[in-house]
Structure 1
């Protein structure tokens, strides 16, 4: 082995093996081999750092529970910071993250409480479904992405799909997304370099300034997410821009992937598909023809929620998260040294037959049993 290859191996460790693509309903060759050799918790060298990998349900829960305390903090690789910026809620830590998170919860709660929120989503869904009428074939994953983006851009910036600015933001955002999952080489022409946050940030700032100017001219205040965001005095200008970008990032890819996963899995389970259809028809039949669905209608969709839960478990859209130990942490027989990266791997727990019976089967009805157990625990 050459000196260059050896240094590269020491620097990258087992990262390439850990990230090697594999079906989302499997744990992949790297985890399969490591679990067999070392058990549910093992040490490695990933993302340029000594790392503890946890495939243990209790330890994962402990890590996530203690992230907001003094034991662990978010610790995404530096190239991610280079794209997201240091004031993004996704990479902020400590008191800054706590402050941003509290504002985010408040903003989302206010936005979701407005009737227009669900009405806009339903209108966009119907609009996209109507666009399929004259098509012999549709690429559902692309249509799901279109739906997700149109919903987010309407809720966050008050823009519709027909407005020219929407297309420009989508173009910048897609470049932003490609860079986020690319090799971090800041060389002109590479996806990472083209993902520079400045371009999409400048466009969002221009929209914010235009909104402020419009409000100053007394042209009517729009009661949407951006309007509420602008009224928050505890956020800097950069933090407000980051909130918009985080909203786009947080809702675009994961939401569209989940929708595509649900459709794919229901296509392989006619019984689940029929039960889901029946639930929706019963709720729809209780409404007037042109009446919008409301939150009470969605709360009645118990089986729909079971399907979503099972698709999240079986499809593993988010496979793991990045954390770092802030001090030596002892959990059972495991010691996590201070400064080490910690990766709670959700996939391994989701597909663990000791946690979920017949874990490799798509079975939405399992959540009826889990929900009943949780209700009984709460009653006690």
Structure 2
């Protein structure tokens, strides 16, 4: 009996002590929270927060209902609970630039553990600090301007011609799959000296295609539109000049003359940006526009929201490559808020190569083929850009 009473007393004391500790810690946390002026927002469901509605598939040329509703209700900077952590979401161009420019000082790359588990701990996407800088320098050596001029331009052109020649007997196919294979085969040859069709190349390509979602961002149907005609005129002029000079193959001057092509590429990336947002973490308490971002909180700069901001881009839902021309009154303001490849110390090392690939491919495509959608297929964000049907197109050789 005495033992039972003693056990009950000890148990009751332990429960009481636990309650006191919980109450005190809750009061401390609440007191600690009150010193922060957090952006408005909501937490959502326990544990998962608002992750599922945030990742809900939507048309790739929009921000999606979640972002539009939250911006309308809370403003361009709001708080949420995403991927299991308290998060500040930014659709504010100034804050996004501030985050990118202060990488490693005030903010640090911080992707969910699931991403790191898939990519591996040595992936440039998840590395931080000195290790990331070293890996980035290695990558930049492969894709420097000197390499682009001396080797890669010719390699990209030869690979482009090979791919386009294969289309002449196929007629209808998935443009998305062709784009994935085009990108992979080019990089496999350049970085790993692996040729198309080799057993190791094909095996690695299958793994690459399985993993990568949405490496294509083309929310447009070019043929028979004003910008398609403008593109064709530009590339016919380049081809005519080369023929008169007896030149074979594109050179760097030809690439730099593709001014309208670069406008089309920019507008395509703006409307169908593959990297729609990035994951960062605050390294210290930060104040911005009257709001506090507590140390350790996740921060999500949403690039798509800025690219579709009507205070920066006139009629942002419209595909208008002319907005990027140098004589455009808003070109300078738009460029400062245009970040399809990120920015700051973590600017994509392959950004210049990507633009070179697109420009060379478009050059030969508009000279060799007319094309059309084989069936309607609109890009969706999952959250990466993807085409449900693979973007089936039908091509016709220009005679």
Task: Normalising by structure 2, report the TM-score.
Answer: 0.68
The answer to whether the 8 A contact 1:279-1:303 is kept is yes
2:129 matches 1:94: yes
Distance in 2 between residues matched to 1:71 and 1:275, nearest whole Å: 45
> Shift of the alpha carbon at 1:110?
6.8
2:324 matches 1:367: yes
Q: Deviations over 1:165-224 (max 9, x none)?
A: 21121123334x16xx7xxxxxxxxxxxxxxxxxxxxxxxxxxxxxxxxxxxxxxxxxxx
> Shift of the alpha carbon at 1:323?
0.5
Distance in 2 between residues matched to 1:138 and 1:111, nearest whole Å: 35
Map of 1:19 onto structure 2? 55
Within the candidate set 187, 196, 204, 1:152 is matched to 187
Any stretches of 5+ residues in structure 1 without a counterpart?
Answer: 1-7, 182-252
Distance in 1 between residues matched to 2:146 and 2:54, nearest whole Å: 39
> Shift of the alpha carbon at 1:164?
2.2
Map of 2:72 onto structure 1? 36
Rg: which structure is higher? 2
What secondary structure, in the 3-state scheme, does the structure 2 residue paired with 1:335 have?
strand
Within the candidate set 273, 284, 297, 2:239 is matched to 284
**Which residues of 2 match residues 296-315 of structure 1 at below 5 A?**
296-315=253-272
What secondary structure, in the 3-state scheme, does the structure 2 residue paired with 1:171 have?
helix
Q: Deviations over 1:292-315 (max 9, x none)?
A: 111211111111111111111111
- Shift of the 358–110 alpha-carbon distance from structure 1 to 2, 3 Å rule, reads closer
**Which residues of 2 match residues 49-68 of structure 1 at below 5 A?**
49-67=85-103
**Which residues of 2 match residues 134-145 of structure 1 at below 5 A?**
134-145=169-180
Any stretches of 5+ residues in structure 2 without a counterpart?
Answer: 1-43, 337-399
Map of 2:9 onto structure 1? none
2:141 matches 1:106: yes
Higher helix share: 1
Distance in 2 between residues matched to 1:164 and 1:66, nearest whole Å: 44
- Shift of the 17–373 alpha-carbon distance from structure 1 to 2, 3 Å rule, reads closer
The answer to whether the 8 A contact 1:265-1:311 is kept is no
The answer to whether the 8 A contact 1:115-1:294 is kept is no
**Which residues of 2 match residues 170-319 of structure 1 at below 5 A?**
170-175=205-210, 177=211, 254=215, 257-258=216-217, 261=218, 264-267=220-223, 270-288=225-243, 291-319=248-276
The answer to whether the 8 A contact 1:111-1:117 is kept is no
Q: Is 81-90 or 111-120 further displaced after alignment? A: 111-120
The answer to whether the 8 A contact 1:265-1:362 is kept is no
- Cα RMSD after superposing both structures: 2.3
> Shift of the alpha carbon at 1:163?
2.0
Distance in 1 between residues matched to 2:253 and 2:308, nearest whole Å: 33
The answer to whether the 8 A contact 1:76-1:322 is kept is yes
Higher strand share: 2
Distance in 2 between residues matched to 1:116 and 1:335, nearest whole Å: 49
